[in-house]
């Protein structure tokens, strides 16, 4: 949800400033780009060097920067326009008053007044200050401007009093922002089931029949769907890929039979299902209990068909929007269209092994999307992340028609 976001963090002079080191780490871990503005008093509570190291960006605190190259200007307008999100934490009573009434006496305030992005503020002050009518007025004004207030915590305060005024914990700040970003997304409230990767069909305890699928396409689809607001169940065969996302549940399987069982366990409750896995078409009829010894010059394995997962989903389909993939080498559109109709799909994504840069194990893909009306849309060669976004956007377009 925060991956690739440009986040400007303004830190003001309160004891809660020490928590911002943890906040920066969480934002960086989530994939955000972070820049920090310190007020003069904030640098008494937290080290600019620590924040610069954690954020991987220089920390600024004044309009004028003096360095080896001479005197330069920290451009507040440029920083305000750079940010996708701005967080002011801790937001002291003094800073909140300045924000509410436009008092522009430092770099942070000038940047705040220049920002075009959503601005979050996390108040931090003692109980009586928090309850004071002037502070409450500042809250009301800032909320009326469209700023977003991250609720304070309650507990022991720096003064020794107990009550409201504690700055929200870094984890709670990140969760609050993620929830804000999630609200109103096109797939908000939708459940999406995605299959990914290969399946391995055992021959004996150490050998198997498999394919070269890396799972990249399915994993990118899961991220694109989750970043569009969906709750995602990703059922993956064996792969080296890893994924951390608040809205993705990863279910690991090995064989086609295990994937079939897992898919049908979740299918009834989802709104969208995408079959991106390269499921084995055949499996050994019998599996040796012990490792098969290398004796004869020739060795034969009798194979039987696996269950067709996508076909079974098409047969059971009620309210679900069902998407399949077709990997073809000849008569691509004709064969993909037949698969679309046979398996009762709403969309099919065609890959051709004749296209350079497409197929298993690649970081790129080139697709053609065919819908149930046999309307065809062709896309250029792109990274799999961009291809996944194209597919998810096409699904959003179709379900909203």
Q: Name the residues annotated as catalytic.
A: 211
- Residue closest to 278 by CA, chosen among 248, 311, 309, 252: 309
Cβ neighbours for 132, distance < 8 A, ≥ 6 positions apart: 93
Cβ neighbours for 265, distance < 8 A, ≥ 6 positions apart: none
- Tell me how far the alpha carbon of residue 118 is from its chain's centroid: 19
Pairing of strands 303-305, 364-365: unpaired
* Alpha-carbon distances of 4 from 85, 121, 181, 231, 277, rounded to whole Å: 11, 21, 13, 20, 27
Distance CA(85)–CA(249), nearest Å, equals 27
DSSP string, 371-391: ETT--EEE---EEHHHHHHHH
Is residue 90 a contact partner of residue 158, using CB atoms and an 8 Å limit? no
Distance CA(310)–CA(302), nearest Å, equals 24
Element (H, E) at 119: strand 119-123
Residue 374: CB atoms within 10 Å: 10
* Alpha-carbon distances of 69 from 66, 76, 253, 328, rounded to whole Å: 8, 20, 57, 59
Q: Report DSSP state, residue 392.
A: H
Report H helices in 326-383.
332-342
Cβ neighbours for 32, distance < 8 A, ≥ 6 positions apart: 2, 3, 4, 5, 6, 7
Is residue 186 a contact partner of residue 259, using CB atoms and an 8 Å limit? no
């Amino acid at each position: 949800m925060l991956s690739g976001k440009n986040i400007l963090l303004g830190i003001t002079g309160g004891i809660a400033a020490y928590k911002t080191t943890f906040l920066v780490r969480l934002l960086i871990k989530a994939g955000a780009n972070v820049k920090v503005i310190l007020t003069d008093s904030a640098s008494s509570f937290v080290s600019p060097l620590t924040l610069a190291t954690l954020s991987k960006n220089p920390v600024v605190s004044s309009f004028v920067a003096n360095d080896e190259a001479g005197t330069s200007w920290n451009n507040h307008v440029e920083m305000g326009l750079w940010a996708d999100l701005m967080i002011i934490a801790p937001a002291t009573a003094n800073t909140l008053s300045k924000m509410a009434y436009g008092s522009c006496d430092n770099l942070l305030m000038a940047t705040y007044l220049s920002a075009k992005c959503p601005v979050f503020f996390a108040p931090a002050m003692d109980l009586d200050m928090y309850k004071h009518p002037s502070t409450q007025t500042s809250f009301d004004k800032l909320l009326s401007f469209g700023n977003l207030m991250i609720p304070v915590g309650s507990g022991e305060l720096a003064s020794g009093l107990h009550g409201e005024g504690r700055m929200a914990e870094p984890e709670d700040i990140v969760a609050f922002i993620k929830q804000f970003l999630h609200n109103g997304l096109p797939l908000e409230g939708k459940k999406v089931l995605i299959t990914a990767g290969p399946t391995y069909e055992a021959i004996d305890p150490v050998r198997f029949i498999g394919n070269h699928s890396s799972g990249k396409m399915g994993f990118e689809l899961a991220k694109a769907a989750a970043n569009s607001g969906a709750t995602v169940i990703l059922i993956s065969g064996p792969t080296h890929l890893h994924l951390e996302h608040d809205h993705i549940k990863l279910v690991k399987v090995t064989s086609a039979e295990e994937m079939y069982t897992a898919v049908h366990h979740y299918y009834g409750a989802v709104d969208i299902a995408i079959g991106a896995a390269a499921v084995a078409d055949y499996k050994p009829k019998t599996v040796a209990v012990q490792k098969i010894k290398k004796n004869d010059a020739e060795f034969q394995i009798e194979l039987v068909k696996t269950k067709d997962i996508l076909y079974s989903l098409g047969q059971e389909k009620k309210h679900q929007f069902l998407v399949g993939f077709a990997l073809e080498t000849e008569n691509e559109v004709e064969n993909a269209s037949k698969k679309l109709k046979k398996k009762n799909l709403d969309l099919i994504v065609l890959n051709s092994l004749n296209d350079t840069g497409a197929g298993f194990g690649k970081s790129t893909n080139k697709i053609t999307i065919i819908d149930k009306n046999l309307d065809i849309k062709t896309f250029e060669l792109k990274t799999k992340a961009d291809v996944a976004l194209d597919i998810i956007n096409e699904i959003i377009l179709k379900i909203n028609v």
